[in-house]
Structure 1
Amino acid sequence: MLVLPEELREKLKKPFGKVYKTLPDIDGDIVTVGDIVTKTAIENNIIPKLSIFDLKTRRNIPVKINHVFKKVIKVKNPPGCISDEAIESIKYLSTINDRNIALLVDGEEDLLALIVIKYFPIGTYVLYGQPDEGIVVLKINKKLKQEIEEILKQFKKI
């Protein structure tokens, strides 16, 4: 398990890319991280390759996603952590040629965007919510992967 060090919290609260008020047109594979982003994508007829959510927003407000996923994988991931179970699931899902998969998180999903960027192929789009601002859209590239790798090295392994 990886634990978020206190000194990284502020850095990770800032968006890693451009923030959009509405979903932009995207041509390519998409991974959504977060309930509102996933719900918004699906309501706009965008079916992500992978959707990662916990059915809550702002830690405790329930969210209903009206969609039937092809497959739902459940993982535990405590707040402020990245569990080995979540890492292995995302790593596996990055290698399969399938879409409309849900990773339902018991705990907190926010930090899992880092693992998506680490393992999903270059060219994949990662969408996540920036509270009170909008949707962050990232296109995975080599530079972003290197930046995320440096951040992950700062996490505490337990």
Structure 2
Amino acid sequence: MLTLPDDLRGAFKDPMGPVYTDAERLLSEAGDPIVAVGDVVTYHLRVAGRDPDVAVIDGKTKREAVGAEIAAVLDGENRRIEVDNEPATLSTAMLDALVDALASDGPVVIYVTGEEDLATVPAIVAAPEGASVVYGQPDEGMVLVDVTPDSKRKAGELLGKLDGDTAAALAALGVDG
């Protein structure tokens, strides 16, 4: 549905919130529900005792398969939604899965064939105010984004800069485009 144009890649490099290296400290400041985007982030939150309400994972970190220890922690009994999402894109299936997972009563894992990196932006748009979206900042730590009217607006603006039918994407996320 949406693709990241090459000239916009830099806009996604800067953290959208504070960066943490301690999962317990991050969790003490996080809202509810928690959406985790990334295998290593999900691993650290689970090891710290908090299963994210929504975890978006692809079995990889930095384009390489996660190690056995991380994979073992990620393998669980949670409801699982499988989606295809090519690198540098946001598929309709990804957007639908985020909305479905956020509406679920229990923890949900969205398992992505392809790449989950851009899922942070629609997760912020779709999550309720008061939630937190946590994603990995390579070689730095975990970024905590509090879902507020301002963060939702900024994420919506970023989404709007992607190539494709952004109005349909926002509508799929429950937002008037």
* Aligned with 2:99 (options 84, 91, 102): 91
Deviation digits for residues 84-126 of structure 1 (CA, Å, limit 9, x no counterpart): 1101111222223x23210000010010011111111011111
Name the amino acid aligned to 2:10: E
Q: What's the counterpart of residue 76 of structure 2? A: 68
Report how far residue 27 of structure 1 moved.
Answer: 4.8
Question: With structure 2 as the length reference, what TM-score do the two structures score?
Answer: 0.84
> In 2, Cα distance between the equivalents of 1:94 and 1:100?
9
CA RMSD, 1 decimal? 1.4
| 1:142 correspondence with 2:146 | no
Q: What's the counterpart of residue 7 of structure 2? A: 7
| 1:114 correspondence with 2:105 | no
Deviation digits for residues 14-73 of structure 1 (CA, Å, limit 9, x no counterpart): 100000111121352211000000001111111111011001100123341424132011
| 1:123 correspondence with 2:165 | no
SS at match of 1:72: strand
Q: What's the counterpart of residue 107 of structure 2? A: 100
Question: With structure 1 as the length reference, what TM-score do the two structures score?
Answer: 0.94
Segments of structure 1 that go 5 or more residues without pairing to the other structure are: none
Note closer, same or farther for the CA distance 1:29–1:9 as it changes in structure 2 (3 Å cut).
Answer: same
Greater percentage in helix? 2
Name the amino acid aligned to 1:69: E
Identity %: 32
Name the amino acid aligned to 2:115: E
Segments of structure 2 that go 5 or more residues without pairing to the other structure are: 166-177
Q: What's the counterpart of residue 172 of structure 2? A: none
Report how far residue 151 of structure 1 moved.
Answer: 0.9
